Amino acid sequence: MVPLLDLRAQYRQLQNEVDAAVHRVLESSEFIGGRESECLERELAGYLGVTDVVTVNSGTDALVLSLKALGVGSGDEVIVPSFTFFATAAAVSLAGATPKFADCAPDSYNVDISALQKAKGQHTKAVIVVHLFGEPVDLSPIQKWCTEHGLWLIEDAAQAIGARYADQSVGSVGDIGAFSFYPTKNLGAFGDGGAIACRDPAIARCLRQLRNHGRAGRYEHQVIGCNSRLDEIQAAILRAKLPFLDTWNERRRRLAARYQRGLQGTVCRWQTANVQATPVYHQFVIRHPQRDALQAFLTTHGIATAVFYSIPCHLQPALAESHGEVSLQHAERLSEEVLALPIYPELTEEAVDHVTGLVHLFEQQR
């Protein structure tokens, strides 16, 4: 049996560090808004190369609060990719704005500048790009275009912490970068968690106010905020894991390269990284014209796989009433062909070879 992800293996590797971090919080009895969160914010800011990091309680809240801090709301449109996790589009609606969907670039899981240009309308105020599966978007032309048109650029880096573009950490290039620490992420907590990276101290102050009920003083509330504070146990666990992140991401890159070599000669396709980008392979996602049959075949041989994502956002029932008539051919085609294969730092080379061998066997039998 080869699982899609094995979180127990990671915990066994770091059990002493993680247990000590949790014990430290229990001994301090600071469970919200304490030293661990403050230290994590400083450490993440240094790691990402930004002025400020503001921790929140989920990657979704990271996007919602980012939009609100930038003044995006009712009457505004925000361009988002259709081929992404639903939270990206939902965050726009939760902020009071309207998502405007962009298609993927050909042979890519991500949007490009031409897709964004097609989606722009007269009410567009911001763009959210998603570094999907840990593959950085080609940011330079997008950043230049956003600046020329007075649009905010938000990077959804929920799946891409540690990835780099043109020698910058993703999440540090745009006006704001949003991150998720959901347990399955490359840097995962033991519950929900998120963070927002920015370079403008004024935006950081606004974000800190928004995440804590809009407080200016203990019982003075200047704006309508919410309760979105990262708890101290999660912060301490993330601090214990952060020093290992680059090593884990490098391991993911080696495993992805082994997959790519092993799948040569099959009809499988995958996104090729931009020459300026260093991906982190949160998922290793292939495309196959017989995706469902291949998935069933791998399942019978003990290989866990997953489909990310079977329904593009513009066709989701929650949004179909307003966007269901939109046609985005690349996103719709991807939803029928993508399949995520197992990848995580503790996965062995032998397991990768076993999976690729089964893909070859599947195609031979077909």
Q: Does 149 reside within a domain?
A: yes
pLDDT of residue 310: 97
Same domain, 291 and 338: yes
Q: Does 54 reside within a domain?
A: yes
* Residue 1 exposure: Cα atoms within 13 Å on the Cβ side: 3
* Residue 109 exposure: Cα atoms within 13 Å on the Cβ side: 30
In CATH, what number is assigned to the domain containing residue 262?
A: 3.90.1150.10
pLDDT of residue 194: 98
Same domain, 17 and 131: yes
Q: Does 307 reside within a domain?
A: yes
Number of structural domains (the chain) is 2
- Please give the residue range of the domain that contains residue 336: 244-365
The predicted model scores a pTM of 0.97
Q: Does 209 reside within a domain?
A: yes
pLDDT of residue 366: 86
Q: Does 2 reside within a domain?
A: no
pLDDT of residue 124: 98
Q: Which of 195, 219, 243 is the last residue of a domain?
A: 243
Same domain, 141 and 18: yes
Same domain, 238 and 248: no
In CATH, what number is assigned to the domain containing residue 13?
A: 3.40.640.10
Q: Does 314 reside within a domain?
A: yes
pLDDT of residue 216: 87
Same domain, 344 and 206: no
Same domain, 130 and 249: no
Q: Does 326 reside within a domain?
A: yes
Same domain, 217 and 332: no
pLDDT of residue 251: 98
Same domain, 264 and 236: no
Same domain, 226 and 295: no
The list of the chain residues with pLDDT below 70 reads none
Same domain, 157 and 267: no
Same domain, 43 and 192: yes
Catalytic (active site) residue 185 = yes
Q: State the catalytic residue, choosing from 68, 125, 185, 241.
A: 185
pLDDT of residue 323: 77
Q: Does 167 reside within a domain?
A: yes
pLDDT of residue 217: 82
Q: Which of 243, 260, 277 is the last residue of a domain?
A: 243
Same domain, 262 and 307: yes
- What are 230's two structure tokens? 């990262």
pLDDT of residue 325: 77
Q: What tens digit of pLDDT does each residue of 299-337 get?
A: 999 999 999 999 999 999 998 777 777 889 999 999 999
pLDDT of residue 102: 97
- DSSP alpha helix (H) spans, the chain: 7-13, 15-28, 35-48, 59-69, 86-94, 113-119, 139-148, 201-210, 232-241, 245-262, 291-300, 317-323, 329-337, 349-365
Q: Which of 203, 224, 243 is the last residue of a domain?
A: 243
Q: What tens digit of pLDDT does each residue of 109-142 get?
A: 999 999 999 999 999 999 999 999 999 999 999 9
pLDDT of residue 40: 98
Instruction: Please count the other Cβ atoms lying within 10 Å of the Cβ belonging to residue 354.
Output: 16
